[in-house]
Structure 1
Amino acid sequence: MKVGLIGVGLMGHGIARNVLGRGGLPLSFLDHPGNQPVDEILERGGTALNTPAEVAAASDVIILCVTGSPQVEAILTGNDGVIAGLRPGSVVVDCSTALPQSTLRMAEAVKAAGGDYLDAPMTRTAKHAHDGTLNLLAGGDAEVLEKVRPVLASFTEAVEHVGPLGTGHRLKLLHNYVSVGFMTLLAEAAAQAADAGVDARRFVDILANGGGASVALDRMAPFITDNDREGLPFFVSNALKDIDYYRMMSEQAGAQKTIADGVHAAISAAVESGHGQAYVPELTRIFRRTEDN
């Protein structure tokens, strides 16, 4: 199968290199200023194209790996968008983090153009993308998923069919709310510990040997102890977007979101003070009484 990729960012770059390398599949991608450097992708045989429509016209499977719902909608339905170039029987696989209601609308638009749609957001990090060990939460028709599994296998460790269309994105927002919520809480506690003169390694060890043990702690610990932010290269502004999406989804469902509102307030303050491009582990520093401590 011929693969198209739109969004060669931190995650998409790893997807591209594994589709070409481990999968041995032909790949075209959208040439875009927001891409990571694509020298390796071109060297492995990837082809840069100028519009989403051109990518769609060259592909049996089109993978979207962009920021969120507005970007997905523009890429699919805009002038020279994916739908304009879609080949009958092609499959759009949306690996972005998006709103379930938008996902259902976009799936209908793709189906009307003769294609199929899966929402398959990613869990794990950019390192897992580079290593080809991402996990996907796939919503949509099971037969469509089986059709594209050989493509998805090239950059994943596990692909779980979680239900009908929209379920993947709903579960991703639930997952990211819990994950970002844990890390925001942890950063606030670590900031207070540092302001009080608590030894950072002792703080981490106490949590790790008790009720604070978690993947969130594992990812935050390198910054708490050694100011190493690279364990989680995830922008604070993207964390805020995910929490915003979760709150929107909760409002649409009539669900409680009291704690989510608190997480939103904490991260919003960090973004508003100019820290949107910091990585999430750096909230530990941003939340301190004075950042130069």
Structure 2
Amino acid sequence: MKVGIIGVGLMGHGIARNVLRKGKFELGFLDHPGNQPVDEITGLGAVAYDTPAALAAVSDVIILCVTGSPQVEAIVTGDHGLVSSLKPGAVVVDCSTALPDSTLRMGDAVQAAGGAYLDAPMTRTAKHAHDGALNLLVGGDAAVLEKVRPVLASFTDTVDHVGALGHGHRLKLLHNYVSVGFMTLLAEAAAQAADAQIDPQVFVDVLAGGGGASVALDRLAPYITQGDREGLPFFVSNAQKDIDYYRAMSTASGAQQTVADNVSAALARTVEAGHGQAYVPELVKLFRKSAQG
């Protein structure tokens, strides 16, 4: 199988290098100014294409790793989109974080063009992508998943089939709501602790020894104690986007979203203040009284 990837960013670059190095598949990618430096993957044999259509014409499996639903829709059904030149039987694997309703529409468009669609959002971090150890939550036809599993195995630790098309993205939004929600709450508490001049290591140790022990604490602790943000290179603007996707999903299903509304408001104030490109751990500083003043 020849593989294509669209979105060679923080996560996509790791996927691309492992498709090449571990999977030893031929790889094409969309040339785009948002890509990370591509010297490594071109050195391993990856070939750049100018449009999604040109990439689709030569790819059996196409991985999408872009910001959200507007980008996915433009790639799949926009001008020079994938569906205009999809190979018969090709599989589109959407690893983005997207809205389930949009995913169903894109799945229908790809199926009408003779292909198949899987939503396969990722959990874990850019380091896991670099190491080829991501987890995927895959929605769609189980037989289609088995067809592309060798490709997915090159950049993953686990691949879980979670149900019908759209269920992957639904579960990813649920996951990110809990994960980002926990980290936003923790950052606010850590900011208050810092304002009160509580020793940051003592703060972390007290939480770790009690009900505050969590993956969220593990990810934010390096910033709380040492100012090291690199353990979680995830932009606050993307965190807000994911929470707002969760809220949109909740609105569509009639679910309660009171807590989600307030998490979104906390993140929105940070983005509106010009800190959208800060990493999520930096909320610990941005939520402090001195930052607000």
Q: Which residue in 2 is equivalent to 1:49?
A: 49
- Give TM-score scaled by structure 1 length: 0.99
Trace 1:24-35 onto structure 2 (pairs within 5 A).
Answer: 24-35=24-35
CA deviation vs aligned residue, 1:44-83 (integer Å, no higher than 9, x gap): 1100110000111110000000000000000001111111
Residue 171 of structure 1: how far off its partner (Å): 0.0
Distance change (3 Å), C-alpha of 1:239 and 1:292: closer
Q: Which residue in 2 is equivalent to 1:105?
A: 105
For 2:237 and 2:172, the matched residues in 1 are separated by 17
For 2:28 and 2:117, the matched residues in 1 are separated by 19
Q: 8 Å contact 2:122–2:172 — kept in the other structure? A: yes
Residue 291 of structure 1: how far off its partner (Å): 2.9
Q: Which residue in 2 is equivalent to 1:170?
A: 170
Q: Which residue in 1 is equivalent to 2:245?
A: 245
How many residues end up aligned between the 2 structures? 293
CA deviation vs aligned residue, 1:155-198 (integer Å, no higher than 9, x gap): 00000000000000000000000000000000000000000000
Matched, 1:183 2:183: yes
Moved more, 283-292 or 1-10: 283-292
Q: Which residue in 1 is equivalent to 2:139?
A: 139
Q: Which residue in 2 is equivalent to 1:21?
A: 21
For 1:182 and 1:85, the matched residues in 2 are separated by 43
For 1:207 and 1:55, the matched residues in 2 are separated by 49
For 2:68 and 2:188, the matched residues in 1 are separated by 27
Letter in 1 for 2:134: L
Displaced runs of 4 or more, over 4 A: none
For 2:177 and 2:51, the matched residues in 1 are separated by 33
For 2:115 and 2:201, the matched residues in 1 are separated by 53
Secondary structure class of the residue paired with 1:291: helix
Trace 1:61-100 onto structure 2 (pairs within 5 A).
Answer: 61-100=61-100
Structure 1 residue runs of 5 or longer lacking an equivalent are none
Letter in 2 for 1:124: R
- Give TM-score scaled by structure 2 length: 0.99
Letter in 2 for 1:164: A
CA deviation vs aligned residue, 1:120-168 (integer Å, no higher than 9, x gap): 0000000000000000000000000000000000000000000000000
Residue 85 of structure 1: how far off its partner (Å): 1.6
For 1:21 and 1:83, the matched residues in 2 are separated by 29
For 1:186 and 1:192, the matched residues in 2 are separated by 10
Secondary structure class of the residue paired with 1:290: helix
Q: Which residue in 1 is equivalent to 2:285?
A: 285
CA deviation vs aligned residue, 1:186-245 (integer Å, no higher than 9, x gap): 000000000000000000000011100000000000000010000100000000000000
Residue 4 of structure 1: how far off its partner (Å): 0.2
Q: 8 Å contact 2:95–2:120 — kept in the other structure? A: yes
Distance change (3 Å), C-alpha of 1:106 and 1:292: closer
Letter in 2 for 1:121: P
Q: 8 Å contact 2:237–2:276 — kept in the other structure? A: yes
Letter in 2 for 1:259: V
Trace 1:223-242 onto structure 2 (pairs within 5 A).
Answer: 223-242=223-242
Letter in 2 for 1:165: L
Secondary structure class of the residue paired with 2:22: coil
For 2:284 and 2:58, the matched residues in 1 are separated by 45
CA deviation vs aligned residue, 1:249-286 (integer Å, no higher than 9, x gap): 00000000000001001000000001000000000000
Matched, 1:215 2:215: yes
Q: 8 Å contact 2:286–2:292 — kept in the other structure? A: no
Residue 292 of structure 1: how far off its partner (Å): 9.8
